Chains A and B, each alone.
Chain A
Amino acid sequence: MNSDKLRPLWVALISVLLGLIAGGILMAFTGNNPVEGYIYLFKGGLMSIERIGNTLATATALILTGLSVAFAFRTGLFNIGASGQMLMGGLCATALGLSLNLPKPVLLPIVLLAAIIGGGLWGLIPGLLKARFNVHEVVATIMMNWIAFWTVNYAVPSFFKGEYLETESRNIGVNASLRVEWLTKLFNGSYINLGIFLAILSIIVIAIILNRTVLGFQLKAVGFNKDSAKYAGMNVNRNIVLSMVIAGSLSGLAGATFYLGYASNIQIGVLPSQGFDGIAVALLGANSPYGALATAIFFGILHSGKGFMNAMTSIPPEIGDTIIAIIIYFAATSLLIHKFLDKIKAFIKGARKK
């Protein structure tokens, strides 16, 4: 039993290891020493307090999108729409942040709520489509991504245009920013912001919902077996909608942490990659909230250490990107590794019998 419980951890570690080996082979192919490369990669993410801050800042949105995808997974839904939800959350938060002139303690809760509502709405629509018309959420959420993309493309230049730039909004004021001076100073001027606390808080809240509450019990039951949930008198459609709304809200919050914390405005023409990386985060984290937290921080190290690795070695940035992508790709193959472990287990059993 114990080994079964720890299994996702093993699978994750093996996936990461395979990814690192594959990435290392690529480094070797480009004539670099993989050990050196990895040392610089991790140094780049961790070697100074500022870099640690930046790693956490990079991880913040990933934690939330990963949590969003993982939560949806746990309730039987495949949320590909984290990107669009994040974008809408960011748009709503930025819009209010730019329009309202209020003191920080009042404005921050408002913009965060706006992000949650914006993302939640972007989850609600696919949820309703699934519950009412049985439209598959994968299709619906992908469509919603593009609707969000073009909405931002239209809304930002029309209403929140930067003073000289059509392609991004004006910068939000200090009062709407998640960056706070004491934190920036504590981490030597890094981009870490209050978002990291929101992300960790979300992890804890979602973990409690999933593991301890009636709501979580019912949402998971619907995820595992819709028919038996219905048989047991649960409102399956309501649960599907609710699930998507919660997942959307988490991604929306990710948008707030990204556009009001890591960045300070919203740019058009970009579908945030954190939404898609969130899928890998959820997979590698075995769809557990704490797994998502750990994985997102790991990805944060990779993303923010990559540049230093490139700077210190002769690995070209494109190969650097490929190496990161390979590591993430292998991380997402954890299903295969599950099967592989099953085979090994069966083999060992067979061998013992003989």
Chain B
Amino acid sequence: MKKIALVLVLFLSFATVAFASGNKESVSSKMKVGMVTDAGTIDDKSFNQGTWEGILKAGEDFGVTVKYLKPTGTTEADYLKEIGNLYDAGYKFIVTPGFKFETTIYQAQDKYKDAKFVLIDGTPHTPDYATFRAEKNVVSIFFAEHESGFLAGVATALQLKEGSVGFIGGMEIPPVQKFNWGFQQGIAYANSNKGTKVMLKSENVIYQGTFSEVAAGQQLAAQMFDKGVTAIFCAAGGVGVGAINEAKSRAAAGKNVWIVGVDVDQYADGVYEGGKSVILTSAMKKIGTAAYDMIDAELKGNFPGGETLVFNAVNDGVGLPVKNPNLSSDVIKTVDAVFAELKKGSIKVSDEQGNLIK
């Protein structure tokens, strides 16, 4: 016992000496920006990562201190606890990505009145949806996923010209559904206005049900490819990762298969041997830009508290990546033109199902 105690004492004293002069330079900066992650990791190639990249960029550009925390679970209590931890540690500008934070922020806005919150993809309300209320310290941000999906659909149809495409979604929730519906409208637009002959059969529109089952994604993609589908639009988190893996191994074997990415530019995730990528293009939601813009606004003193912002084609909040190595320059030109029309409002994309598939 004595030995153990001795070891411990030595260890602790070493530790204290070694770190007594700890680095606390960053504390001096004026603003501390915190983020609480949603289910999944910080490098989820999607929501968490997108948000965090925007915050990181703001950290570099404006010299603010940034930090993210990962809750132990996915309940309101878990989320609120991490917000409390950030708040107690002095992080009073807090970004929360995902609709799951809606009820949490509803409580946090009153509990931490001197903190500011950015809620992406959601708006604060009570658990029973009876009361919707955003105080002056909360900004809700939504995206026009259907417009992003529309552009991806047009680009895909133009590049492929003919053949069959598919869609794999994660959970059947509004943001994912809007991607799907927009994508379908984009294909249809290209078919009727640009002379392409691309099919999207209803059997090839599938919601897997989770954002995490990588293996299931791979299987679903394999089935679609076997049925002759050449490109799949995946709005499915980890499920999409599985689909990308399947596409990579087929592409490496010389097959003509593509994946359309989602949320962020997934080109790099689709790279297989030879430096080529299976990512045809990506239907982006510029989450990072949104987070970055809000921090910028706060620093400039015009934080749009209490408002609900929509990021869409008009304000460049959605769109395709700047670089699309897998699209021909003709296609890019045409898509840019379509994008311009979207901005003008001369093309309208519906965010409702109507008579679309699923």
Interface string of A287-321 (1 = CB under 8 A from B): 00000000000000001101110111000011011
Q: Are A167 and B171 in contact (CB under 8 A)?
A: yes
Distance of A147 from chain B, by nearest CB (Å)? 17
Known: A35-B12, A164-B174, A317-B69. A54 touches B129 (CB 8 A): no
Point out the residues of chain B lying under 8 angstroms from A330, CB to CB: none
A17 to B7, CA, bound (A): 11
- Interface stretch of the complex, out of B77-85, B184-192, B266-274, B294-302: B77-85
Point out the residues of chain B lying under 8 angstroms from A263, CB to CB: 75-77
Q: Are B4 and A17 in contact (CB under 8 A)?
A: yes
Chain B contacts with A in 120-179, Cβ cutoff 8 A: 127-129, 171-174
Instruction: Tell whether A269 is near chain B: CB-to-CB under 8 Å.
Output: yes
Instruction: Tell whether B309 is near chain A: CB-to-CB under 8 Å.
Output: no
Known: A17-B8, A34-B15, A321-B70. A262 touches B75 (CB 8 A): yes
A3 to B18, CA, bound (A): 38
Interface string of B215-243 (1 = CB under 8 A from A): 00000000000000000000000000000
A189 to B84, CA, bound (A): 12
Q: Are A269 and B15 in contact (CB under 8 A)?
A: no
Point out the residues of chain B lying under 8 angstroms from A14, CB to CB: 4
A191 to B41, CA, bound (A): 25
* Tally of B interface residues using CB under 8 Å: 47
Q: Are B11 and A21 in contact (CB under 8 A)?
A: yes
Distance of A40 from chain B, by nearest CB (Å)? 9
When C-beta atoms are compared, the residue in chain A nearest to B212 turns out to be A269
Known: A24-B15, A308-B88. A164 touches B129 (CB 8 A): yes
Point out the residues of chain A lying under 8 angstroms from B128, CB to CB: 170-171
> How many residue pairs bridge A and B at CB < 8 Å?
107
Point out the residues of chain B lying under 8 angstroms from A317, CB to CB: 37, 42, 68-70
Point out the residues of chain B lying under 8 angstroms from A17, CB to CB: 4, 8
Point out the residues of chain A lying under 8 angstroms from B41, CB to CB: 318
* Tally of A interface residues using CB under 8 Å: 46
Point out the residues of chain A lying under 8 angstroms from B18, CB to CB: 28, 33
A57 to B172, CA, bound (A): 32
Known: A33-B16, A35-B15, A167-B173. A311 touches B75 (CB 8 A): no
When C-beta atoms are compared, the residue in chain A nearest to B207 turns out to be A166
Q: Dominant SS at the A interface?
A: helix
When C-beta atoms are compared, the residue in chain A nearest to B91 turns out to be A311
Distance of B171 from chain A, by nearest CB (Å)? 6
Distance of B108 from chain A, by nearest CB (Å)? 11
Chain B contacts with A in 39-86, Cβ cutoff 8 A: 41-42, 67-77, 80-82, 84-86
When C-beta atoms are compared, the residue in chain B nearest to A320 turns out to be B70
Q: Are A303 and B72 in contact (CB under 8 A)?
A: yes
When C-beta atoms are compared, the residue in chain B nearest to A18 turns out to be B4
Cross-chain contact of A307 among B20, B69, B129, B172 (Cβ < 8 A): B69
A263 to B91, CA, bound (A): 25
A44 to B16, CA, bound (A): 20
A20 to B160, CA, bound (A): 58
A318 to B37, CA, bound (A): 12
A104 to B57, CA, bound (A): 50
Point out the residues of chain B lying under 8 angstroms from A312, CB to CB: 89
Instruction: Tell whether B210 is near chain A: CB-to-CB under 8 Å.
Output: yes
A24 to B77, CA, bound (A): 28
Q: Are A189 and B4 in contact (CB under 8 A)?
A: no
Distance of A101 from chain B, by nearest CB (Å)? 14
Chain A contacts with B in 162-181, Cβ cutoff 8 A: 163-167, 170-171
Instruction: Tell whether A202 is near chain B: CB-to-CB under 8 Å.
Output: no
Instruction: Tell whether A218 is near chain B: CB-to-CB under 8 Å.
Output: no
Instruction: Tell whether B317 is near chain A: CB-to-CB under 8 Å.
Output: no
Cross-chain contact of B129 among A24, A34, A163 (Cβ < 8 A): A163
Point out the residues of chain A lying under 8 angstroms from B333, CB to CB: none
Q: Are B77 and A21 in contact (CB under 8 A)?
A: no
When C-beta atoms are compared, the residue in chain B nearest to A55 turns out to be B81
When C-beta atoms are compared, the residue in chain A nearest to B172 turns out to be A166
Instruction: Tell whether A333 is near chain B: CB-to-CB under 8 Å.
Output: no
Q: List 27 A-B contacts (CB under 8 A).
A: A17-B8, A21-B11, A24-B11, A24-B12, A28-B15, A32-B19, A33-B22, A51-B84, A54-B77, A163-B129, A167-B171, A170-B128, A171-B127, A191-B77, A263-B76, A303-B72, A307-B69, A307-B85, A310-B67, A310-B70, A311-B88, A311-B89, A311-B91, A312-B89, A317-B37, A317-B68, A317-B70
Given A21-B7, A28-B18, list of 19 further CB < 8 A pairs? Answer: A35-B12, A35-B16, A35-B19, A36-B22, A57-B77, A153-B209, A165-B99, A166-B172, A166-B173, A191-B81, A262-B75, A304-B81, A307-B71, A308-B85, A310-B70, A311-B86, A317-B37, A318-B41, A318-B70
> Which 5 interchain pairs have the tightest Cβ spacing?
A33-B19, A311-B89, A317-B70, A171-B127, A307-B85
A contact set with B: CB distance below 8 Å: 14, 17, 21, 24, 28, 32-36, 44, 50-51, 54, 57-58, 153, 163-167, 170-171, 189, 191, 262-265, 267, 269-270, 273, 303-304, 306-308, 310-312, 317-318, 320-321
B contact set with A: CB distance below 8 Å: 4, 7-8, 11-12, 15-16, 18-20, 22, 34, 37, 41-42, 67-77, 80-82, 84-86, 88-89, 91, 99, 111, 127-129, 171-174, 209-210, 212
